[in-house]
Structure 1
């Protein structure tokens, strides 16, 4: 195996965190998918944020192809944390970022956009609403999201993909199916759901009463 393939990745993670920018990030993503890593522990570990991650480290001698590992964790609802042995990991990939790369060859789309948990419609305004397609949410990722919600005691979670212009979409989760949590919990719930989805997806918690169209089971 040509271990020189690992040098670009090793060089990039040796750049101080304070000197990294979006250009560094693009180069880092490319070097990661082209290179290898070492798996630090055989089983996923719980990160400080409470989510499961495979802990990996960079090395010129690393032999585990990054793409092969990411394919494996994309089927299991696991994120990826790089060089956690450092004071600050070099990068942490949520599960949503992992499957986003598998489907689109991009970890991050439109960087800088944020998750929202509110949506407003004008009276009489026409909207587009449907069951999220497999292109938008692949079956394996949908099943993992559903299992997470079921593990929280939500037996029939429901959602609806909504757009006002067919350009920007909101993934609307039914408040009723989530047990009508109090409003002060909505942001935390949306942030938890966002870990399972690409970073540019907009997540909204809404009442089914606001729509004439039926919601779909996650």
Structure 2
């Protein structure tokens, strides 16, 4: 039994961090079979490309077989996630769009260590915050475009954000509540959860009012 096959036979409740790392390494170094040319809407209402991957993926000659890394590059520009082996009762893995572009930019689908948003965030000396725009690597232009399109579909035409930190070490990606239409507090969790699909899992998201804070910038 080869490594790919043995990985996929591990029960879902036994798939730990070591399993996940092995899965990521093997998947991104091989090919997948695209099951449908068009993205499908998943149970979470987000768009996903459906792909098959197993021990035969690099040995067969299916016309829809593609290098995984090329697929990731394509998905990054489209705002689409990826589901591996959706034909199973439980897919082997579901990658959000945020995980997809995180891999393109950094080689990691997500990080467990602290990631800097920019080289330095200044403080104006009058607030407890360090602040500034997210760096190009932290939030690339093509990701901003995807996010803008999502917000415009919700009728939000000018969403604003800012990187905020109290210690210049750990950062929140803060979205202006005013630019989000001042939604009621009970909706904040759902809004943050929706935004998080577009961002790497390790990005802290904050919804906050602009009062007494530095000027927010356009997304």
Q: TM-score, normalising length from structure 2?
A: 0.87
C-alpha displacement of 1:125: 5.0
Please tell me whether residue 175 in structure 1 is matched to residue 145 in structure 2.
no
Residue of structure 1 in register with 2:88 after alignment: 86
Name the structure 2 match of 1:51: 46
Query: How far, CA to CA, are the matches of 1:9 and 1:158 in structure 2?
Result: 44
Match of 2:106 among 94, 99, 104: 104
Partner of residue 140, structure 1: 142
Paired residues for 1:59-208 under 5 Å: 59-62=54-57, 63-110=65-112, 126-208=128-210
Structure 1 residue 50, shift from structure 2 partner: 0.4
In structure 1, the residue corresponding to 2:18 is in which secondary structure?
A: helix
Q: Which has the higher contact order (CA 8 A, sep 6+)?
A: 1
Q: Partner of 1:217 in structure 2?
A: 218
The root-mean-square deviation of aligned C-alpha atoms, in Å, is: 1.4
Question: In structure 2, how many angstroms separate the alpha carbons of the residues matched to 1:165 and 1:51?
Answer: 35
Partner residue, 2:28 = 33
5+ long unaligned stretches in structure 2: 58-64, 114-125
CA distance in 1, matches of 2:42, 2:5: 23
**Does the 8 Å CA contact 1:79/1:93 hold for their aligned counterparts?**
yes
Q: In the aligned structure 2, how far is the partner of 1:159 from the partner of 1:66?
A: 32
Count residues with an aligned counterpart: 199
State whether residues 173 and 205 of structure 1, in contact with CA within 8 Å, keep that contact through their aligned partners in structure 2. yes
Structure 2 distance, partners of 1:76, 1:168, is 29
Which residue matches 1:119? Answer: none
Query: C-alpha distance in 2, partners of 1:31/1:179?
Result: 44
TM-score, normalised on structure 1?
Answer: 0.87
SS at the partner of 1:181?
coil
Gaps of 5+ in 1: 1-6, 112-123
